[in-house]
Amino acid sequence: MTDPLLAIDDLHVHFHTEEGTVEALDGVDLEVYGDEVVGVIGESGCGKTVTMLSVMGLLQSPPAEVVGGSIRYDGRDLLTCSESELNEIRGEEISMIYQDPMTSLNPVLTVGRQVSEVLLAHRDISKRDARERSVEMLDACGLADPERLMDEYPHSLSGGMRQRVMIAMALVTEPNLLIADEPTTALDVTIQAQVMEVLRELRSDHEVSIVFITHDLPLVSEIADRIAVMYAGTVAETCSVERLFDRPLHPYTRKLTESIPKLDQPATRLPSIDGTVPSLVDPPDGCRFASRCPQFIGEECRSVTPALTDVSGTGRHEVACHLYTDVSEASPPWPVDDEDRTAQQPTAETDDGGRR
Amino acid sequence: MLKYIIRRLLVMVPVVLGVTVVISTLIYLSPGNPAQIALGQNANPEAVARLEQQMGLNKPPHLRYVDWLTQALQGNLGRSLETGTPVTDLIVERLPATLELAFASLAIMLVIALPLGVVSAVRQYSWVDNASMLFAIFWLSMPSFWLALILLLLFAVHWDFFPISGRAGALLSVTALSYLVLPAIANGARRAGLLTRMMRSSMLEILNKDYIRTAKGKGIGQRSVIYSHGMRNAMIPIVTLLGLQVPSLISSSVIVEVVFAWPGMGRLLVDAVLRRDYPVVQGVTLMYAVIVIVANLLVDIAYSYLDPQISYD
A90·B214 Cβ contact <8 A: no
Q: Would residue B117 count as lying in a domain?
A: yes
The confidence score (pLDDT) of residue A132 equals: 93
Which of A60, A110, A155 is opposite residue B309, by nearest beta carbon? A155
pLDDT tens profile B186-228 = 888 888 999 999 999 999 999 999 999 999 999 888 888 998 8
Judge: domain A105-206, CATH 3.50.50.60: no
**Chain B residues whose beta carbon lies within 8 Å of the beta carbon of residue A87:** 219-221
Distance CA B301, CA B293 (A): 12
B213·A104 Cβ contact <8 A: yes
Which of B215, B222, B306 is opposite residue A106, by nearest beta carbon? B215
CATH class of A1-82+225-356: alpha beta
The confidence score (pLDDT) of residue B171 equals: 61
Domains A1-82+225-356 and A105-206 agree in fold: yes
Q: Would residue B142 count as lying in a domain?
A: yes
Confidence grade of residue A148 (pLDDT, cut at 50, 70, 90): very high
Q: What is the CATH number of the domain that holds B185?
A: 1.10.3720.10
Q: Would residue B7 count as lying in a domain?
A: no
- pLDDT at residue A121 is higher than 60: yes
Domain boundaries, chain A: 1-82+225-356, 105-206
- A169–B contact, CB cutoff 8 A: yes
Q: Would residue B68 count as lying in a domain?
A: no
Q: Would residue B197 count as lying in a domain?
A: yes
pLDDT tens profile A54-110 = 999 998 877 889 998 999 998 889 999 888 899 999 989 999 999 888 899 999 999
Domain that holds residue B167: 94-265+302-306
The pTM score is 0.80
Task: Spell out which chain B residues touch chain A, with contact meaning CB-CB distance below 8 angstroms.
Answer: 208-211, 213-222, 224, 228-229, 232-233, 306-309
B211·A86 Cβ contact <8 A: no
Q: Would residue B58 count as lying in a domain?
A: no
- A91–B contact, CB cutoff 8 A: yes
pLDDT tens profile B120-157 = 999 888 899 999 999 999 988 888 888 888 988 888 88
Q: Would residue B80 count as lying in a domain?
A: no
- pLDDT at residue A51 is higher than 90: yes
Counting the structural domains of chain B, the total is 1
Q: Would residue B66 count as lying in a domain?
A: no
